[in-house]
Structures are given as structure tokens and as C-alpha cells.
Structure 1
Amino acid sequence: MQVEGTILRGRAFDPVEGRIVVEDGEIAAVEESDVESDAIVCPAFVNAHTHIGDSIAKEAGAGLSLDELVAPPDGLKHRLLRAASDAEKVAAMRRSLRFMERSGTAATVEFREGGVDGVRAVRAALDGLDVAAVVLGRETVAAMHEADGFGASGARDADFTDERAATREAGKPFGIHAGERDPTDLDPALDLDPTFLVHVVHPEPHHLDRIEHAGVPVVVCPRSNLVTGVGTPPVADLLDRTTVALGTDNVMLNSPSMFREMAFAAKVGTVDARDVLRMATVNGAELVGLDCGLIEPGRPAKLLVLDGDSDNLAGARDPVRAVVRRAGVDDVDRVVL
């Protein structure tokens, strides 16, 4: 198979005209050549933080605070999840996963509520789809063993020392929410030596120093933070200190569209488009050990092909900025996973 167009190649996303040669699901070559195609070809996205169980309650809880919405064990989302049947949750998650696949997401890093049963439910929702998920179980060590790792709610909610030790022994990733409401839970979260932090809206200078010194990556979800009224993360400051990835967070609050998340991060965070595209692709992949997010020979062929001659994208002078700040689901020509 060959994919032609303007290819955003490598970690710098250098735009080159040519073709990608795919053999046995792998990028065999990236060839520069004159081609008759208006397509823009970029790596498929990695959504580095989701809660897709919330798909049963999209746009519920308007006007509620962050704690009222999502704090365990009795935030609105947790009550709604308990009230829903397994079949309802699987069907709703599957619809969100189908949307993610259709809109160019190759993989998601899913914080999965519901213990072992929750992990099994999302596996059922993924069955037959091409989008992949790194599932981080929550609430119990058993859920971590059933899943690909552990996703902690936050150090203010519980002492996760035992869960962290078990996850380390299992050789699996440990992610934790931190610094979302205020800075008070950042030090306890960092004390756990996590694989990565999520949110980090309110870091103080010494938190940034600790993050940099320990080399802890951060996943930011700026649309979610704005909706819940906690502010927006200092993306540029975080990028100066560590690897930053991008996630869409709760489906209850926002669609799992990486196009919308990228545009918001670039415009509100005043971040360079190439940095944002790395946040939405290779940075999220490397966070959890996935081999995707870049167009290079030897990589799996996880590609997003955009119609560069769509009414929205025609005339774009900078293809990277066009992908990050302007493109949307309607511009997707095809997704190669």
C-alpha cells in the first residue's frame, strides 16, 4: 500500500511531498517525490488521558464543581456509573471509541473505573475495533493486574503507596491526577515516583523543579480544566521542564476529539504547533511504551490522512499549523491503523 501527499515526517514533522510505502502494516519507506495529491498525512493521534465510561452521561452536571462532578466515591459520574448496567456502559464506550477511531486516534490511555469489572467492560467495548487502549485499572490492585497499569485518582483521595508498590513490582505504568484543583497534592503525588502526572494546573516553582529533576512526564487536558473551572495548565512552562502529552479527559465534559484539544492548547496556551502535535502523537505514545506517533521507516503504519483540498484546509500555507489549529473531523479522508 502507498499513501501520497504532503507528509509530516519525523519528530520535527518536516513537510515533504511524496509517498509512504506500507508493507505488512509497517512503514517501509518515506519517499520524496512529486505526487498528484492534496492530502496532508500525519501520524494518528494518541489520546493520553480519557475516562470513556462517562460516555453514558455526556453533558450531565452543568454548573457543578469539579468535586461534585468527578470526586470518588460519590461524584455525579460515579453515581451514574453505578446506576448503569454493564451493557449500557459497554455500548456507550464503544460509540466513543468508534468516534475516536474515525477521527484519527490510534490509541488512548484510559483511566478505567469499576475495578476488575470495569477493565473487562472496556476490553469488551474495544472488541473488533482498530483503535487501541492502554487501560489503567483503578480502585484495586486486582484491577491493575487485570489491566495494563494503575490510574490513581489523586493523593488527596487516598494513600496509594501499596498500589504504587504493586504496580512497580508488576512492571506496569502508574499514572496519577495531581495539581488539578490546587497545588497541595503535587508533592504527595511526586513522592510516589509516578510514571506520569495528569493535569498539573497549579504547579509552584518547586514542583516544576521536582518534575524536571525526576523527569516525570505530564499529561495536560486544558479543555476539561476550563470546563470544571480550575484554570488552565501552564503548558509552555511544563514544556520547558519535561515531556508533555495531551488528553481529552472525561467524555462527560468534552468530546474525545484530539482536533479540538490541539486547537485549544495551541491558542490558549500560546504553544508552537509542532510542540502541540508532538503532545498529541509521539509524546503520548512514549508515555506508555507504544511504538507509534511518528512517520518514520520501521514504525507501525498508524496514519491520519486529511483532505488538504477541503473547503476548510484549501489554501493553508503551513500544513502543521493547519492540522493543529484548523483541521477537524470533517477534513479526515481516511485513517490507516
Structure 2
Amino acid sequence: MKLEGTILRGPEFEPVEGRVVVEDDEIVAIEEADVESDDIVCPAFVNAHTHVGDSIAKEAGRGLSLEELVAPPDGLKHRLLRQTGREEKVEAIHRSLRFMQQSGTARFLEFREGGVEGVEILRDALGDLAIDPFVLGREETEVLDVADGFGASGAADADFSRERNATREAGKFFAIHAGEVGPEDIHPALDLDPDLLVHMVHADDVHLDRVEDSEIPVAVCPRSNLVTDVGTPPINELRERTSVALGTDNVMLDSPSMFREMEFAAKVCDVPAPAALHMATRAGAEIIGSDAGLVEEGRPAELLVLDGDSDNLAGVRDPVRAVVRRAGTNDVKRVVL
């Protein structure tokens, strides 16, 4: 298979004209050449933080605080999940995952409610979709038997030392929310030596120094943070200290569109376009130990092809800025997974 157009090549997303050659799900060559195609070829997205179980309650809870919406065990989403049957959950999640795949997401890091059953529901919801989940189970350590790791709600909710130790013993991944509502839970979260911190909206210089020293990556979800009125994360300050990836957070609150998340990060949080694209692709892949997220020889062929001659993208002068700040699902011509 050969994909022609403007290729956003390598870690700098250098625009080159030519074709990407794919064999056996791997990029085997990038050939620079004059081609007639207006397509833009870039890495498929890696969504670094999701809660797709919320798909049964999109846009529920107008006027509620973050705690009222999502805090375990009796936040609105948890009550609605308890009231919803398995079949309905599977169908709702499947539709969100299908949208994610159609809009260019290849992989996602999911905080999965419901223990072992919750992980099984997600696996069933995948069906024949090619999108690849990295599943962090919750609520019980037994979930480590079926999940890629454990996703803790936050150090203010409980002492997660037992879950952290179990995850370490199992050789699996441990992630935790921190600094979403305030700074109080950041140091306790860091004390657990997690593999990933999520949110860090209220991180100050002392927290940032600890993050830098420990080299812990961070997943930020700026649209969700604005919706829940907790502020927006200091993305550029975090980027100076560690690796930062983009996530879309709760499907209840926001569409799981990496296009929207990149645009918001670029326009509201003043993140440069190449950095935003890196946060939406390679940064998330690195967190889970994947070689994906770049258009380079030897990388997995997880690619997004945009129609550069769409009414929205025709005439762009900077394809990287176009992907980050302008493109959307309607511009997607093909997703190669």
C-alpha cells in the first residue's frame, strides 16, 4: 500500500511531498517525490486519557460540580452506570469507540470503571473495531488479571498504597488523577511513584520540580478542565519539565475528538502546533511503550490521511497548523490501523 500527499515526517513533523510505503502493517519507506495528491498524511492519534463508560450519559448533569458529576462512589455518572444494563453500556461504548476510530484515533488509555466486569464490557464493546485500548481497571486489585494496569481516582479519595503495591508486583501500569480540583493531592500522588499523572491543573513550581526529578509523564485534558470549572493546566510549564500527552477525559463531558483537544490546547493554552500534534500522537504512544505515533520507517502503520482539498483545508500554507488548529473529522479521508 502506498499513501501519497504531503507527509508530516518524523518527530518534527517535517512536511515532505511524496508517498508512504506500507507492508505488513509497517512503514517500510518514505519516498520523496512529486505527486498529484493534495492529501495530508500524519500519525494517527493516541488519546492519553478517557472514560468511555460515560457514553451512556453524554451531556448529563448541567450545573453540577466536578465532585457531583464524577466523584466515586455516588457521583452522577456512577449512579447512572449502576442503573444501566450491560447491553446498553456495550452499545454506547461501541459507538464512542467507532467515532474515535473514524476521527483518527488508533489507541487510547482508558480508566475503566466496574472492576473486572467493566474491563470485559469494554472488550465486548470493541467488536470488530481496530482501535487499540490500554485499559486501566479500577475498584478492585483483581482487575489486574484482565487489565493493563490500575487507574486510581485520586489520593484525596482513598489510600491507594495497596493497589500501587499490587500493580508493582504484577509488573503492570499505575496511573492516578492529581491536582484536578486543587493541589492538595499532588504530593500524595507523587509519593506513590506512578507511571502517569492525569490533569495536574494546580501544579506549582514545587510539584513541577518533583515531576521533573521523577520523570513522570502527565496526561492533560484542558477542555474537560474548563467544562468542570477547575481551570486549565499549565501545559507549557509542564512541557518544560516532562513528557505531556493529550486526553479527552469523560465522554460525559466532551466529545472524544483529538482534533478538538489539539485545537483547544493550541488556541486557548498557547501550545505551539508541532507540540500539540506531538502531545496527540507520539507522547501518548511513549507512555504505553508503543513505537507508534510517528511517520518514520520501521514504525507501525497507524496513519491518518486528511483530504487537503476539502472545503475546509484547501489553500492551507502550513499543514501542521492545519491539522492542529483547523482540521476535523469531516476532513478525514482514511484511517490506516
TM-score band by shorter chain is: over 0.9
Measured in 2, the distance between the counterparts of 1:152 and 1:195 equals 11
Q: Secondary structure at the match of 1:194?
A: coil
Partner in structure 1 of residue 52 of structure 2: 52
Partner in structure 1 of residue 158 of structure 2: 158
Please tell me the residue identity of whatever aligns with 1:3: L
**Structure 1 residue runs of 4 or more that deviate by more than 2 Å after TM superposition:** none
Q: Deviations over 1:112-158 (max 9, x none)?
A: 00000000000101121111100100011111221011100000001
Q: Secondary structure at the match of 2:128?
A: coil
1:276 and 2:308 are equivalent in the alignment: no
Q: Secondary structure at the match of 1:290?
A: coil
Partner in structure 2 of residue 291 of structure 1: 291
Partner in structure 1 of residue 25 of structure 2: 25
Alignment of 1:324-335 (within 5 A): 324-335=324-335
- Cα RMSD for the two superposed structures: 0.6
Q: Secondary structure at the match of 1:241?
A: coil
Give the TM-score normalised by the residue count of structure 1: 0.99
Partner in structure 1 of residue 11 of structure 2: 11
What runs of 5+ residues in structure 1 fail to find an aligned partner? none
Please tell me the residue identity of whatever aligns with 1:268: V
1:242 and 2:233 are equivalent in the alignment: no
Aligned residues: 337
Partner in structure 1 of residue 88 of structure 2: 88
1:194 and 2:194 are equivalent in the alignment: yes
Measured in 2, the distance between the counterparts of 1:144 and 1:13 equals 37
Partner in structure 1 of residue 114 of structure 2: 114
Measured in 2, the distance between the counterparts of 1:148 and 1:196 equals 13
Partner in structure 2 of residue 180 of structure 1: 180
Shift of 1:291: 2.2
Measured in 2, the distance between the counterparts of 1:231 and 1:144 equals 33
Measured in 2, the distance between the counterparts of 1:131 and 1:295 equals 18
Identity percentage over the alignment? 71
Partner in structure 1 of residue 251 of structure 2: 251
Q: Deviations over 1:46-71 (max 9, x none)?
A: 00000000000000001100000000
What runs of 5+ residues in structure 2 fail to find an aligned partner? none
Measured in 1, the distance between the counterparts of 2:319 and 2:156 equals 43
Please tell me the residue identity of whatever aligns with 1:332: V
Partner in structure 1 of residue 226 of structure 2: 226
Measured in 1, the distance between the counterparts of 2:144 and 2:125 equals 18
Give the TM-score normalised by the residue count of structure 2: 0.99
Measured in 1, the distance between the counterparts of 2:172 and 2:9 equals 30
Measured in 2, the distance between the counterparts of 1:168 and 1:109 equals 18
Measured in 2, the distance between the counterparts of 1:272 and 1:172 equals 33
Measured in 2, the distance between the counterparts of 1:285 and 1:72 equals 28
Please tell me the residue identity of whatever aligns with 2:181: R
Shift of 1:288: 1.0
Please tell me the residue identity of whatever aligns with 1:246: L
Partner in structure 2 of residue 317 of structure 1: 317
